[in-house]
């Protein structure tokens, strides 16, 4: 059975925007508590790994030095007391301060440990220490090169991918990034939008017509050498399990087959849930479980199981630990061994001290929310959604997939002669 890394450390608590902010560390901490309460971390095929702080050189693989230095200044200042007025005003340039990205003590260190955790995961998987890895603290996919965005200070997935490509320059690696968060992976897309065909990004998300960050339309497909390597599948609000999976299964496997990645990084935000307070999609934990399984199957089929799964969004505490525990159990190969219900004593421990968003006893929701059920009984709604789903599948498969297939055919044509020369040289030496 494959070995799975679990990146886990109390150091992740430092990434904390405060009690009133929706991105609470307890989402990740409760996931680990559920994993540990079920003794999954004691499985002989689980390797618990500590994250490390990313170095400044690693952060600069994507982020501007000026931006990194400002984050460090803010972090140091907050250790001494209230933020000085000049730094408070200066933060506006970097989208730091009031709103989505309030500053907090140890902001640089807390953000760097997230990045370092994802780098540890990527290295462990690519180097063959483990087959796959789960980094629940990662998935900060909105951060841009020169500013914070959408609860994200540093973009861990981008930096980890760039780190891997830089570490193995002669291997011409191909990395596939799949993002199933409710919000578009704009920061990751922007990092690779023009300058490489070694990274292909796929983002399935609620359409930017309705949800932050207002991007991720199907027309955004990359520029120059990257044309076709940015794949966006914007979804309508209230998209439910079956429709989501139909679209996924008709589009994503074809892209993966054409691209033939060496490693997959997946961002597994669960704000796609029908009860999430910050988005309007209609999935249940059953649908989320199936999406995770399908991504894992693609990794096993096309890149020897090499998959790094990071966390992401998800703002209903009742949902996140259950879905991410099922994700980890699937990576570990024990998903079918999970109990139907969470043991009562463990459930009591998970819900201790909270009056709202209580985790229910079951992993799989009994069904969609009442709001989704109401719409699924509306034939007009179903017809419109089915037609929209057909349009998305048609446009990706007929307008974007051919670009990837053409480019990959040209890539292989260039590689083949070099391979033949090397074989001839090897044969001559043997003679």
| Active-site annotation, residues | 184
**How buried is residue 349: exposed, middle or buried, by Cβ count under 10 Å (0-12/13-18/19+)?**
middle
CA–chain centroid gap for 18, Å, is 23
Q: Give, in order, the Cα–Cα distances in Å from 217 to each of 5, 209, 267.
A: 34, 9, 18
The answer to whether the beta carbons of residues 227 and 196 sit under 8 Å apart is: no
User: Looking at the DSSP assignment, which residues form a beta bridge with residue 203?
Assistant: 179, 232
Question: Which residues, other chains included, contact 428 with Cβ-Cβ below 8 Å and sequence gap of 6+?
Answer: none
**How buried is residue 29: exposed, middle or buried, by Cβ count under 10 Å (0-12/13-18/19+)?**
middle
Which pair of structure tokens corresponds to residue 363?
Answer: 């992993």
Place of tokens 């990274």: 199
Q: Nearest Cα to 140, choosing from 97, 83, 101?
A: 101
Place of tokens 């490489």: 196
HSE toward the beta carbon, residue 47, CA cutoff 13 A: 17
The answer to whether the beta carbons of residues 296 and 325 sit under 8 Å apart is: no
SS3 (DSSP) at 367 = coil
* DSSP designation for 397: I
Report residue 125: phi and psi, to 5°: -75, -50
| H or E element, residue 221 | none
Rg of the chain over all Cα atoms, to the nearest angstrom: 22
Distance in angstroms (rounded) separating the CA atoms of residues 231 and 158? 16
């Amino acid at each position: 059975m494959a070995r799975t890394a679990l990146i886990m450390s109390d150091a992740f608590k430092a990434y904390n925007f405060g009690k009133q902010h929706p991105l609470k560390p307890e989402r990740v901490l409760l996931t680990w508590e559920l994993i540990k309460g079920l003794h999954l971390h004691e499985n002989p095929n689980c390797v618990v790994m500590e994250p490390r702080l990313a170095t400044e050189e690693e952060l600069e693989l994507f982020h501007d030095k000026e931006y990194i230095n400002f984050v460090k200044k803010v972090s140091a200042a907050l250790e001494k007391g209230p933020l000085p007025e000049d730094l408070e005003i200066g933060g506006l340039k970097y989208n730091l301060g009031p709103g989505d990205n309030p500053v907090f003590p140890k902001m640089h260190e807390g953000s760097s440990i997230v990045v370092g955790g994802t780098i540890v995961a990527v290295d462990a998987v690519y180097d063959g220490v483990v087959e796959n890895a789960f980094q629940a603290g990662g998935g900060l996919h909105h951060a841009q090169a020169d500013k914070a965005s959408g609860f994200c200070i540093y973009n861990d997935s981008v930096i980890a991918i760039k780190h891997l490509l830089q570490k193995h320059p002669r291997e011409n690696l191909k990395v596939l990034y799949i993002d199933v968060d409710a919000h578009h992976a704009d920061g990751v897309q922007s990092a690779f939008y023009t300058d490489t065909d070694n990274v292909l990004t796929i983002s399935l998300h609620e359409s930017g017509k309705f949800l932050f960050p207002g991007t991720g339309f199907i027309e955004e497909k990359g520029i120059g050498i990257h044309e076709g390597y940015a794949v966006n599948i914007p979804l309508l609000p209230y998209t439910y399990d079956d429709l989501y999976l139909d679209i996924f299964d008709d589009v994503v496997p074809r892209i993966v087959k054409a691209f033939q990645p060496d490693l997959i990084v997946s961002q597994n935000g669960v704000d796609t849930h029908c009860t999430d307070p910050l988005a309007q999609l209609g999935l249940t934990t059953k649908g989320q479980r199936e999406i995770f399984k399908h991504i894992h199957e693609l990794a096993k089929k096309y890149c020897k199981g090499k998959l790094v799964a990071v966390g992401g969004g998800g703002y209903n505490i009742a949902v996140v630990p259950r879905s991410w525990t099922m994700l980890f159990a699937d990576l570990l190969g024990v998903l079918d061994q999970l109990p139907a219900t969470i043991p009562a004593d463990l459930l009591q421990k998970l819900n201790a001290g909270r009056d709202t968003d209580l985790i229910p006893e079951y992993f799989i929701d009994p069904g969609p929310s009442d709001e989704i059920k109401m719409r699924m009984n509306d034939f007009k709604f179903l017809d419109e959604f089915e037609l929209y789903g057909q349009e998305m599948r048609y446009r990706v498969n007929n307008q974007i997939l051919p670009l990837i297939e053409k480019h990959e055919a040209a890539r292989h044509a260039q590689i083949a002669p070099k391979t033949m020369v090397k074989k001839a040289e090897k044969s001559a030496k043997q003679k």
